[in-house]
Amino acid sequence: MFRISKIIILTLGISILSCSDNTTKFSNSVISSPHPLASQAGKIIYSKGGNAFDAAVASAFTLSVVEPSMSGIGGRLQVIYKDADGHISGIDATTQIPKSFNDNGQELPSFGYKTIGIPGVVAGLIKLHEENGKLNLETVLQPAIEIAETGFIVLPGEIYRQQSEKEKLNLFEGSKLYFLDSVGESFKIGHKLVQNDLAYILKKISKEGKEGFYEGEIAKKIVDDIQSNGGFIELEDLKNYKAYKSTVFTGEFNGYNVHTLNLPSYGSISIQMLQIFDYLDIKNENDWTIKISSAIEEAYNYRPYQKNKDSVISILSINTAKQIANKIEDLNLKFTFKDNFKEFNTSDIVLGHTAHLTASDKFGNVVSLTQTLGPNMGSKVASKGLGFLYNVTMGPYLGGYLGQDKPGDRSSSHISPTLFTSNKEVVLALGAAGGNKIPVAINQVAYRYLKQNLTLSDALFMPRTYMYDSPVYREDHEGLEKFNEGVIFPELYNVEMIKEKGYFGRVHAIALDTINKLWIGEADPDWEGTVEIFQ
């Protein structure tokens, strides 16, 4: 049986007056992140009097140290947040194509120096902190710096991801230095990783802010290495890079307002998917699998149109969602699948990419933050003397549904940090890692929690589903047996049960218990993350 004991978390009609960041509204502060040390960094910052913005920034910089395959200061970032006074805003710090980029009509590689775009994470985190934080930057970065200097035991998942890229890492001098041992082998279980060069950069950032990374000594080292190896970034690209204020979209789901970000985040598609979910008649898990996966496919067909303003209006329209839901209900009576579906490949499931964290505090601030390098270990390139991996921005990885092919373009992706509000208070904040499964994971967890009324823990654990020009996939790994028992599909539905963990995205979420005025956090059970609570 599901645990329905949600403590009536979502009681409507309770309105809490907005207040400044000095007035406590709730009894605790919480952070959920994909690595225990990153979550602990956030808790340390709470204990020093920091707010959710300070904790999120500390955790994000710590992830650059402890989970380098997934994200880092050479990558990109999207964040949506609500401050204690009720204002919802977002930051776009995605990577950008350098001004000198020219593919000369030739196909670019999928990794290496030619794929590296201008990093955005540092600019985004500094902007988030400068505009909203309470503590000074040196205090906020101290946990990440200490971990880099003293070292940490690399977790099994990180070891596996690094081992999977050993041959590519071996092609680059800096990457070999930082991510392979003295005989060219990947780290083994129990390895303690010390990162003095990365610690030095983090110290520069903590003292000099954005300029410590995008100008001066560090910027010159970045440019010298990239230019010497056929890449495109110049000093002017770094100096002129800016993190922008994002456009926030608002939709509706089950009586709640849902808030996401415009491009380069796929927020409009995420809202449309949820709104389609809302108008489906779902009676059981068979309905769930077929109809939810059909809604995913329908919403994803709109991805190429997100740059057109008129198309976005239609994508966000409730009427469009109703029409699609009605189409799915009608088709379900005579459901058929394409015969030429794509074969399922499990080889990269546990590799994944991207990192998401969510933080909330006793003042009422809430942060949902996603950062990434692109694919596993990004470009596979780290510059000697710097110690961090660069992103992938140019090339086939991000050609995708929108593409970006000219200088100044920013890389769009499925990244979709999301907030749900009621009576101007956040009731659920979440985001995910997992490439094109990011909106899929976020929205299914939200549906389970807000509409099926499961606990947040069960909402993250319950099976997820996915379809896009393929069979219907349903999650079926160890631990899900009781949820999949008796869920049987006629052969014509072409449902494939997937036993590997991690394929359907990894969600880190926080919800509000409005009765007890406290935050509840959960970490995705398919990953190595944790939740930390500060009373």
- Note the helical H segments in 113-195: 121-132, 137-150, 156-164, 166-169, 173-179
**What pLDDT is recorded for position 183?**
85
Decide: helix, strand or coil at residue 513. strand
Residue spans of beta strands (DSSP E) within 373-494: 418-422, 425-433, 465-466, 472-475
Label residue 317 left, alpha or beta by phi (over 0 means left) and psi (-120 to 50 means alpha).
beta
CB 70 within 8 A of CB 63: yes
- The span from the CA of 322 to the CA of 298, in Å, is 12
How distant, in Å, are the alpha carbons of 154, 163, 405 from that of 400?
A: 32, 27, 11
How distant, in Å, are the alpha carbons of 324, 325, 417, 450, 475 from that of 274?
A: 12, 11, 14, 11, 19
Domains of the chain by start residue, with CATH: 29-38+49-241+357-398 (no CATH), 248-349+418-507+520-534 (1.10.246.130)
CB 96 within 8 A of CB 408: yes
**What pLDDT is recorded for position 12?**
34
330 Cβ partners below 8 Å, 6+ apart? none
46 Cβ partners below 8 Å, 6+ apart? 29, 31, 55, 361, 534
Phi/psi at 221 (5° precision): -65, -40
- The span from the CA of 322 to the CA of 152, in Å, is 51
- The span from the CA of 299 to the CA of 456, in Å, is 25
Q: Are strands 76-82 and 88-93 parallel, antiparallel or unpaired?
A: antiparallel
**What pLDDT is recorded for position 16?**
36
- The span from the CA of 51 to the CA of 45, in Å, is 8
CB 130 within 8 A of CB 152: no
**What pLDDT is recorded for position 13?**
37
**What pLDDT is recorded for position 15?**
37
- The span from the CA of 47 to the CA of 532, in Å, is 11
- The span from the CA of 420 to the CA of 451, in Å, is 12
3-state helix, strand, coil in the chain (%, to 5): 35, 20, 45
Q: Which of 145, 151, 129 is nearest to 51 (CA)?
A: 129
- Note the helical H segments in 188-308: 196-208, 211-214, 216-228, 235-240, 267-278, 285-287, 293-300
**What pLDDT is recorded for position 337?**
43
How many C-beta neighbours within 10 Å does residue 127 have?
22
Q: Which residues of 13-26 are buried (b: 16+ CB within 10 A; e: fewer)?
A: eeeeeeeebeeebb
Strands of the 495-498 sheet, one edge to the other: 465-466, 472-475, 495-498
Structure tokens at 522: 């959960």
Supply the pTM of this predicted model.
0.93
| Residue-level pLDDT, tens digit, the chain, 535 residues | 344 344 333 333 333 333 456 789 999 999 999 999 999 999 999 999 999 999 999 999 999 999 999 999 999 999 999 999 999 999 999 999 999 999 888 889 999 999 999 999 999 999 999 999 999 999 999 999 999 999 999 999 999 999 999 999 999 999 999 999 888 899 999 999 999 999 999 999 999 999 999 999 999 999 999 999 999 999 999 999 999 999 999 999 999 999 999 999 999 999 999 999 999 999 999 899 999 999 999 999 999 999 999 999 999 999 999 999 999 998 765 444 444 334 444 444 445 689 999 999 999 999 999 999 999 999 999 999 999 999 999 988 776 656 667 899 998 999 999 999 999 899 999 999 999 999 999 999 999 999 999 999 999 999 999 999 889 999 988 888 878 887 777 666 788 889 889 999 999 999 999 999 999 999 999 999 999 999 9
